[in-house]
């Protein structure tokens, strides 16, 4: 009966997490969502039969407590805890996590624990024939579940709370040394921008990584309300890449792809990149005579970020601890304080000294708190997020004004992009940014502005990747790129695809090839294909209608992922 109690606790916990996501249940759906819970409970039942004792009672309580803890997690981000999520749950995220310590969540956790305490006592009175029947039902659910889950997209919520811990600790991708041009595919637009090569020779560079900024929320991406008017104004004299993609929907590994023009690898830790052999854009520019600095409103000690930035060619590295600020949160300090420090650094440079200024704001990060109210008066997370973008944009305006006041606008190029997107359930269960690779997660704004040489806005529809950032900037400056860069200059006329992945919960690989957007889920083998030109919201999966293309794309992302892992491991030898 203890095993049955465990299964019931798992079911109740998952139902509490699913909430409004499933408003009706068929037998097929029940099997799809709960088959792994049944497997774990059956395994516990068999073990209990042979080894009943205090140890298994301790296991029972460990599992039920852990299931209860996962309730607010699954209600917030629609996934059980995984090892990458646990590694990320550090001090800087305290403000994001405490938001979910609500009375409702605490009551659900408490109720689940009460059920876990009472059920074994109640179920002891169940006749043996009934318990045998229940056991057989569990066997049927466990057997039918994988078949049901293959027919219903449960977004990984079929997993028992224990299985993601095991699954995300095991390597899902094997290193495979192979050489191929993974990005050379048949679709897409060829737009030759070679006339801009070397046009910004000798210019200063201000590169800004906008936190959690998806293209679709900006007027540059077609939004009606504009949360970033200063960026829009700057983009009037710019190259605007309409189809730019993050490599990874999270800041730290995403930063590596930008600085080093190299792809991160699947199921690897940030600390593994410290010895990757990267010659960052900062290093190249310092060799070319630039003074280099990175200013971050957040904290470098978060999630292995120091492995990405230390010994990468920066003369100055300053984060929230160095900057101070007027408003502090667990994640960092206010943007005006960071802008003031950056302008002070510029003022301290010798006259005529060229510089590379890398600014990493945190405005836009969950829980979207701002020191003052914004123009978006709604109370939804999306409204608060837009206000956070507006708050960050105000500091961008201050920085632009500061550059102009110092007479530097005539020889400064601005490179501004979103480090990744942010999701508000455009797809079921898709919250935040790290768990999926839909458009809201990886499609980002990318602007190269130089008012002195760009007289108007030029919009480009070619598909580009953030891994192309370093070679593009160096090409614009007329400086040779590092030999080991994996990205390519956006200024050339070649057609390329963009590749991306996430391994925070489900293992997902994807690519954008012209009109086509492809997603491959490693665990289930699920394939998704969308015609972005006709279906920008990715609501109609046409994978079954284009079997040859899907097969080709699947082989490409598999080969690419193995090659990237081999490349990283080779750099450690």
Query: What mean pLDDT is predicted for residues 364-382?
Result: 90
Q: Give per-residue burial for 68-79: e unless 16+ CB within 10 Å, then b.
A: bbbbbbbbbbbb
Query: What mean pLDDT is predicted for residues 35-39?
Result: 90
Query: What mean pLDDT is predicted for residues 271-298?
Result: 94
Query: What mean pLDDT is predicted for residues 143-166?
Result: 87
**Among 118-132, 213-227, 274-288, 398-412, which is the least confidently predicted range?**
118-132
Candidates 341, 345, 280; CA nearest to 307 is 280
Q: Answer yes or no: are the C-beta atoms of 194 and 181 closer than 8 Å.
A: no
Question: Which pLDDT score is estimated for 182?
Answer: 87
Cβ neighbourhood burial of 402 (10 Å; 0-12, 13-18, 19+): middle
Q: Answer yes or no: are the C-beta atoms of 319 and 298 closer than 8 Å.
A: yes
Q: Which two tokens stand for residue 215?
A: 């293209």
Rounded to the nearest angstrom, the gap between the alpha carbon of residue 525 and the centroid of all alpha carbons in its chain is 21
Rounded Cα distance, 105 and 434, in Å: 22
Query: What mean pLDDT is predicted for residues 502-516?
Result: 94
Domains (ranges, CATH) in the chain? 2-167 (no CATH), 194-570 (3.40.720.10)
Rounded Cα distance, 177 and 175, in Å: 7
Distance between start and end Cα atoms, the chain = 53
| Residue bearing the bigger pLDDT, 125 or 465 | 465
Question: Which pLDDT score is estimated for 413?
Answer: 98
The whole-chain average pLDDT of the chain stands at 90
Candidates 524, 423, 441, 404; CA nearest to 163 is 524
Question: Which pLDDT score is estimated for 101?
Answer: 84
Report the 3 state secondary structure along 307-367: HHHCCCCCCEEECHHHHCCCCECCCCECHHHHHHHHHHHHHCCCCCCCEEEEEECCCCCCC
Q: Write the pLDDT tens digit of every residue in 528-570.
A: 999 999 999 999 999 999 999 999 999 999 999 999 999 888 8
Could you tell me what percent of the chain has a pLDDT over 70?
A: 97
| Residue 139 clears pLDDT 80, i.e. is over it | yes
Rounded Cα distance, 157 and 196, in Å: 48
| Residue 500 clears pLDDT 80, i.e. is over it | yes
| Residue bearing the bigger pLDDT, 92 or 404 | 404
Query: What mean pLDDT is predicted for residues 134-160?
Result: 85
| Residue bearing the bigger pLDDT, 77 or 466 | 466
Query: What mean pLDDT is predicted for residues 65-69?
Result: 93
Q: Write the pLDDT tens digit of every residue in 348-371.
A: 999 999 999 999 999 999 989 888
**Among 113-127, 443-457, 460-474, 537-551, which is the least confidently predicted range?**
113-127
């Amino acid at each position: 009966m203890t095993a049955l109690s465990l299964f019931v606790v798992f079911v109740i916990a998952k139902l509490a997490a699913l909430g409004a996501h499933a408003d009706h249940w068929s037998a097929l759906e029940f099997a799809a969502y709960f088959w792994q819970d049944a497997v774990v409970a059956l395994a516990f039942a068999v073990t209990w039969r042979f080894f009943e004792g205090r140890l298994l009672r301790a296991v029972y309580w460990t599992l039920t407590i852990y299931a209860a803890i996962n309730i607010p997690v699954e209600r917030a981000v629609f996934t059980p805890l995984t090892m990458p999520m646990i590694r990320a749950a550090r001090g800087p995220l305290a403000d994001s996590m405490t938001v979910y310590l609500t009375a409702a969540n605490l009551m659900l956790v408490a109720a689940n624990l009460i059920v876990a305490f009472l059920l074994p006592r109640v179920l002891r009175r169940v006749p043996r024939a009934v318990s045998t029947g229940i056991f057989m039902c569990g066997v049927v659910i466990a057997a039918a579940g994988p078949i049901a889950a293959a027919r219903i997209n449960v977004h990984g919520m079929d997993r028992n709370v224990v299985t993601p811990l095991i699954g995300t600790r095991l390597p899902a991708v094997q290193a495979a040394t192979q050489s191929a041009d993974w990005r050379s595919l048949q679709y897409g637009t060829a737009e030759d921008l070679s006339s801009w090569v070397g046009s910004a020779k000798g210019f200063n560079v201000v590169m800004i990584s906008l936190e959690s900024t998806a293209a679709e929320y900006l007027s540059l991406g077609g939004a009606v309300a504009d949360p970033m008017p200063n960026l829009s104004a700057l983009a009037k004299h710019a190259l605007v890449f309409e189809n730019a993609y993050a490599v990874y929907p999270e800041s730290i590994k995403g930063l590596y792809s930008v600085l080093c023009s190299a792809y991160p690898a699947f199921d690897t830790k940030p600390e593994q990149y410290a010895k990757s052999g990267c010659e960052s854009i900062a290093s190249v520019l310092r060799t070319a005579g630039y003074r280099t600095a990175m200013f971050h409103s957040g904290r470098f000690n978060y999630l292995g970020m120091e492995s990405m930035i230390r010994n990468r060619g920066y003369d100055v590295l300053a984060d929230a601890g160095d900057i101070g600020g007027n408003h502090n949160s667990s994640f960092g300090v206010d943007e005006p304080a960071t802008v003031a420090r950056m302008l002070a650094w510029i003022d301290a440079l010798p006259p005529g000294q060229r510089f590379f200024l890398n600014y990493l704001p945190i405005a836009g990060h969950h829980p979207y708190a701002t020191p003052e109210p914004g123009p978006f008066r709604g109370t939804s997370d999306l409204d608060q997020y837009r206000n956070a973008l507006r708050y960050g944009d105000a500091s961008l305006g201050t920085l632009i004004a500061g550059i102009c006041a110092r007479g530097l606008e005539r020889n400064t190029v601005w490179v501004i992009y979103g480090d990744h997107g942010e999701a508000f359930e455009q797809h079921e269960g898709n919250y935040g940014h790290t768990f999926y690779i839909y458009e809201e997660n990886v499609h980002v704004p990318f602007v190269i502005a130089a008012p002195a040489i760009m007289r108007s806005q030029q919009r480009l529809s070619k598909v580009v990747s953030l891994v192309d950032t370093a070679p593009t900037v160096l090409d614009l400056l007329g400086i040779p790129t590092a030999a080991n860069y994996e990205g390519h200059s956006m200024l050339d006329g070649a057609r390329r695809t963009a590749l991306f992945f996430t391994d925070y919960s489900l293992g997902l690989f994807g690519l954008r090839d012209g009109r086509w957007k492809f997603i491959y889920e490693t665990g289930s083998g699920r394939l998704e294909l969308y015609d972005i030109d006709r279906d920008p919201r990715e609501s109609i999966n046409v994978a079954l209608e284009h079997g040859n293309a899907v097969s080709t794309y699947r082989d490409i992302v598999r080969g690419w992922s193995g090659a990237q892992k081999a490349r990283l491991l080779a750099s450690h030898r």
